[in-house]
Every structure is written in structure tokens, then in C-alpha cells.
Amino acid sequence: MALNRVIARLDIKKNRLIKGMHLEGWRFLPKPANEYCKHYYQNGIDEIIYIDVVASLYGRDALIDIIKESTNDVFVPITAGGGVKSVDDAWALLRAGADKVAVCSAAIKNPKLIEEIADRFGRQCMVLSIQAQKNETTKKYDAYYDIGRENSGLDALEWMKEGVKLGAGEILLTCINTEGTRKGYDLELIEAASKLVNVPLIASGGAGTMDHVSDAMKRGANAAALAHAFHFNTIDIQDLKSHLREENIAVRKG
Amino acid sequence: MRVGIIDYGMSNLLSISRAIEKIGARVELLENPDKLVQMDKVILPGVGAFPKGMKSIREGGFEDAILAYAKTGKDFLGICLGMQMLLSQGQEIEQTDGLDLIEGECLDLPKTDSTGNINIVPHVGWEKIENFVDSNFTELDNSYMYFVHSFYAKPKNTGDILCTSSFGDLTFASGIQMENVTGFQFHPEKSGEKGLNLLTKFLNK
């Protein structure tokens, strides 16, 4: 059995790490993004996710530079996303040292892109990023895009299933309602999603305590992405891994 | 020490180059076969499909140079697709002759286990490597490495299995070795400090 993974999610703007709430109200953190990334690697992180939240406005050069720089010191898998609109965009990130690409908006607008990236680089490279927000009227989850600004009108879970059929090898499932709140992942969403697909599922949005992370994994997440808790050093990576082991969740020692 | 990394257009060379440099060795990217024989160690990386990989090696004129280098007795390492191509044959897409440095073939990972449970292919993630037979590497027994693959190596001689890992209820050769030719299915350059440690042991062996 492959191990459950603890992932650091770094949302970036230009070369700076940022953190928001509900995917908005972004604030800059003091140091360059790379320094956080290197620190997480040295503390035993299993994987890194970089999402450039302004790539669609300013292009991906900043993200490419950050990834290249990261490969000097970071020797675990890196997923990169933000404004990936074509196979060529994906290739530019992979060539810079990323192992996988995360695609959200462009996949909603052009689902064939999922197929094209999977065909060219393998399914494992194609991470479908889903920004889900609960619709209080329908009680279902809508799939948003453009960093949580636009509602696609698609049902997030149906879209996820469709994306896996098209070739997505992994799901990055961000719940907009819980993102940045530190009140815990949306366990209902995670459980529903994990029952629908058999590719790895990364829970994202809302981790504030170590129990939040173990709860998400018990409800079906194969990996948990943390941002705030790592960036503001409220959860230590090694402490989290010890906690997960105590909860009988297998994670890598490292 | 001069470590040559073969650049035949099938791989992101940055990660493996940076990992070797981190360890403290000098990396030379080999875009043509001429300098191969001057290297102290040579690495064949690779991501992608077996037939295209072999085609690129042959078109780049690397095949004869690799075979000649292997005869010198200096260490040669294949990683991922680079490991699979060390074998006699690959069955991915169509049967294709490999470098045949280690007898055996490269087969599809099974889509189900022996009881019919679905195995998820490609096999991606951190998996244990164990049962090392070479004392250079035994310290890394039971460590976790990062895998991304849909095919696996089946050496003809079990003596060429360097270490094993599990996929569903299949035990497969995650490392193979015959004399100076070594292959890893996983990516040591993406496997954290244990991965760097393993690469260090390869360079020092």
C-alpha cells in the first residue's frame, strides 16, 4: 500500500508566498516562497504543491523560476499549477522540474486538455484541481474556477468523476468554504469524493489542528495539503507525522 | 568524480542533475555518445514509453557506446524507464528489444491482484524497498522511495534482483543489478534524504 502523504501547499504571487481565506483576501508572507519550500523539505515533507494565483494575469515565468530554484534543495515530488492552458504550458512546468501539473480553470473550459496532458505525459502527471463551494440552496457542491471567483455551474463531484474518466490521475480537492479558516477540512465533501473515484485524493482547505488532518485521512483522503498551519508554524511536520502514526495512518519517515 | 547523465531527449534531467550535484559530484550532460567512456559513472534516466526510449537511444547513437561503457566495468545506473531498458525486451505498446545488459523483460503491472481486487495503475507514491542483496545498499533496506510506473522489470535470473517492493500482492524487482550495471525503478532523486543517500552509495560503490 502506498503511504498517505503530507503535502505543503504554497500559493504564490510573483515570487512571494501568499495566504488568504476562502481563496481571497491574500496576504504576503515575509520570506521568498523558496525558503519556505526548502524548510518544509528539510523537515520531512512528502510533497510540495505550488499554485500561482496570478499566472493567468502575468504568465508563468515566476512560477517556472521558483520551481527551478527549488530543485536545488528539494528532492521530493513537486506539483505546479496556475494558469495552465495547454500541453505546452504543462511541459514548461515539467521541464523546470515539476513532476505533475495541476489544472483547474482551463480544464473546465476545455475538458479535452485533461486528455491531452494525460496522453502526452501520463495520467500521473495530470492533477485535476477542483475548487468546490457548497451551494446553500441545492446543498450540493459547485465547481468554481479562476481561483474561486467564478461558478462553472458544474456539480463539483460529477465534474471530478468526469475528469478522472478523461485521464486525471489525481485530484486536488479544495473546499472554498473551509479554505483558510483553520476550522478543519470539509469531511462530508472528502468522504463523498473518495467513494466516487479510485485515484489519489488530496484534501485541501481548512487544516488548523493535527486532528483535522487525521480526520480527513480517515474519511478517505490519501493526502492532506496544509498551508497556513505550516507557513505560520502552528503545526510541525514531524509532530504531525507522529500523530498520524499514532492514529494508525501509515506515513513516510523522513 | 565525473558523473555522466545521458541526454537523449526523454527525460527531465534537471532533478537528477541537481541531486548528483547536491551529493558533491560533477555532472556532465551527455548529448552525444563520444564522451561516455571517459566518465567514472554513467546514469541513464528516463520517463516515457519503452519503444520511444529505445528509438531515441538508437537514433542518438548511444546504444553501442552504452554497451562498450558497460564492458569497461565502470558503474552504470538506469532509473525508471532507464532501468527498464537495461533488460532484453519491453512489452509496452509493442515488443521492443532493450539494451539486454540484464537478461529479462519489462511487463505490465497487473490491473487486478490475485483475488480480483483492482490495482490502480500507474503505481504512484512512496513504497518500501527491501531485501537488498548487495551490502553496499543494505543500510537502505526498508526505506521508502517514490515510484511512478506502469510496467515492472522481471529479470530472468532471480540473482539479478537487487531489491524488491510490493504492488497489490505482487512482489516485483524494484532494483536490478548485474555486476557493474544497476537499475532502480523508483526515483531516488525524488525520494528525499533516503534517496540522496542511496545515490551517494551508488557513487561510492
For B62, the grid coordinates are 548511444
Picking from A40, A125, A45, A119, the residue whose alpha carbon sits closest to that of residue A81 is A125
The mean predicted confidence, pLDDT, of chain A is 95
For the stretch B59-99, pLDDT in tens is 999 999 999 999 999 999 999 999 999 999 998 888 999 99
pLDDT of amino acid B195: 98
pLDDT of amino acid A122: 85
Is it true that domain B2-203 has CATH number 3.40.50.880? yes
- Asked if B14 and A41 come within 8 Å (Cβ–Cβ), the reply is no
pLDDT at B12 over 80: no
pLDDT over 70, % of chain A: 100
Q: What is the pTM of this model?
A: 0.93
pLDDT over 90, % of chain B: 87
- Contacts for A110 with CB less than 8 Å, ≥ 6 apart: none
- The mean pLDDT value for A155-164 works out to 98
- Asked if B22 and A75 come within 8 Å (Cβ–Cβ), the reply is yes
Residues A183/A229, Cβ–Cβ less than 8 Å: no
For the stretch A198-235, pLDDT in tens is 899 999 999 999 999 999 999 999 999 999 999 999 99
Residues A235/A229, Cβ–Cβ less than 8 Å: yes
Residues A244/A4, Cβ–Cβ less than 8 Å: yes
Split at pLDDT 50, 70, 90, the class of A1 is low
Residues B147/B186, Cβ–Cβ less than 8 Å: yes
Q: Which residues of B touch A95 (CB under 8 A)?
A: 12, 14
Residues A250/A2, Cβ–Cβ less than 8 Å: no
Domain segments of chain B as ranges: 2-203
Query: What's chain A's Rg over C-alpha atoms?
Result: 16
Instruction: List beta partners, residue A175.
Output: A132
Taking the Cβ of residue B9 and every Cβ of chain A, the question of whether any pair is shorter than 8 Å is answered with: no
Taking the Cβ of residue B123 and every Cβ of chain A, the question of whether any pair is shorter than 8 Å is answered with: yes
d(CA A103, CA A111): 10
Q: Coil, strand or helix: which one is A40?
A: helix
- The mean pLDDT value for B169-184 works out to 97
Taking the Cβ of residue A65 and every Cβ of chain B, the question of whether any pair is shorter than 8 Å is answered with: no
